[in-house]
Amino acid sequence: MKQSTLLGIAAALTAFVLVLVGALAGQLTQTSEVATPTAVEATAAPTDTVVALDPAVEAIIREREAAYQQALTEANRQIAEANRRLEEANRQIAQQAAPQAAAPQQSAPTYPVSAEQAQAIAQNLAQGATLIKPAELVLYQGTPTYEVIFDMGAVYVDARNGTVLASTIVQPVALPAQQVSAEQAAQIAIAYRGGGQVRKIERENERGIDVYEVKFTDGAKVYVAASDGAVVYARLDKAKKDDDWNEQQSDQTGKDRNDDHDEKDD
């Protein structure tokens, strides 16, 4: 039964009860008018004298009272029946409304990856970042995704399989390791060739390697890596123009080096 039909039945029963009560009230008013006898002056009879009513009037009163009691009993019965039907209608309305209220809760989708699992995946990726907002289910490019926000960006984890769909985490830039200074490179070059006087130190890039070119007064040159102080190349005798590569340097780095360094020095 539809909710509108039940409400219509309840309204009709209420209107019926109101009409019935009004009819009973009118009937009682008429009874009072007929049954009321003409007042008799009390001074004409002793105080203990009982005034007898006319039998016809008394019969009318009794008849009216019986009809009133019968009508009142019927009205009470109909009111009780109306209340029962009204309660039944309210109960059916409540039963119909309960599934509609519970439907949104049952329709919430569930996914294989929980919010806690997605947050753990995101935190493992964003190591060192501070969590600002826990995992929240969103749609990322039409895909159900957990969004986890950190102080250095956000991570988006697929709610279906735990795959990281995107990350805006900005990792801190690693500072370069402490490098060799020019003075240290000079000491390394002097030790490598067994003495000598340094004339000039220049830092340059030789075949992709950041080196110090340490030049001596006798024309010798030693190339010291700026990263770790290794000697990558040396020319100890300028006249012979022989290349003396450090054994730690790969063969490919030591091949085909020309004499352009001498021309630059001159």
Q: Are residues 154 and 122 in the same domain?
A: yes
Q: Are residues 239 and 208 in the same domain?
A: yes
What pLDDT does 58 receive? 80
- What lies within 8 Å, CB to CB, of 97 at 6+ separation is 3
Whether 95 maps to a domain, the answer reads yes
Residue 258: alpha-carbon gap to chain centroid: 66
User: Of 106, 123, 138, which one is at a domain's C-terminal end?
Assistant: 106
Q: Are residues 147 and 236 in the same domain?
A: no
Q: Which domain holds residue 74?
A: 3-106
Measured CA to CA, the distance from residue 239 to residue 186 in angstroms comes to: 22
Q: Are residues 13 and 91 in the same domain?
A: yes
What pLDDT does 176 receive? 54
Q: Are residues 101 and 124 in the same domain?
A: no
CB 156 within 8 A of CB 137: no
User: Of 80, 106, 132, which one is at a domain's C-terminal end?
Assistant: 106
Measured CA to CA, the distance from residue 9 to residue 87 in angstroms comes to: 11
What pLDDT does 86 receive? 86
Whether 174 maps to a domain, the answer reads no
Q: Are residues 135 and 47 in the same domain?
A: no
Whether 172 maps to a domain, the answer reads no
Give the chain's domain count: 3
Whether 27 maps to a domain, the answer reads yes
Measured CA to CA, the distance from residue 102 to residue 11 in angstroms comes to: 28
3-state secondary structure of 185: helix
Whether 126 maps to a domain, the answer reads yes
CATH of the domain at 154: 3.10.450
CATH of the domain at 247: 3.10.450.40
Burial class (CB in 10 A: 0-12, 13-18, 19+), 92: middle
Whether 139 maps to a domain, the answer reads yes
User: Of 89, 106, 123, which one is at a domain's C-terminal end?
Assistant: 106
Whether 62 maps to a domain, the answer reads yes
Q: What is the pLDDT of residues 176-214, one digit of tens each?
A: 556 888 899 999 988 888 888 899 999 988 877 899 999
Instruction: Give the length of the chain.
Output: 266
Q: Are residues 19 and 55 in the same domain?
A: yes
Q: Are residues 196 and 157 in the same domain?
A: no
pLDDT per residue as tens, the chain (266 positions): 555 666 667 667 777 767 776 776 666 565 545 444 444 444 544 555 556 667 887 888 888 888 888 888 888 888 888 888 888 888 888 888 776 655 555 556 789 999 999 999 999 888 888 999 999 999 998 999 999 999 888 999 999 999 999 888 876 655 455 688 889 999 998 888 888 889 999 998 887 789 999 999 988 999 999 888 888 888 876 544 444 444 444 443 443 444 444 444 44
Whether 251 maps to a domain, the answer reads yes
Write out the E strands in 129-191: 131-140, 143-150, 153-158, 164-167
> What predicted TM-score, i.e. pTM, was given to this entire model?
0.32
> DSSP assignment of 13-36, as one string?
HHHHHHHHHHHHHHHHHHHHHHH-
3-state SS record for 64-85? HHHHHHHHHHHHHHHHHHHHHH
Beta strands 221-225; 231-235: pairing state: antiparallel
Q: Are residues 8 and 94 in the same domain?
A: yes
CB 266 within 8 A of CB 255: no
What pLDDT does 150 receive? 93
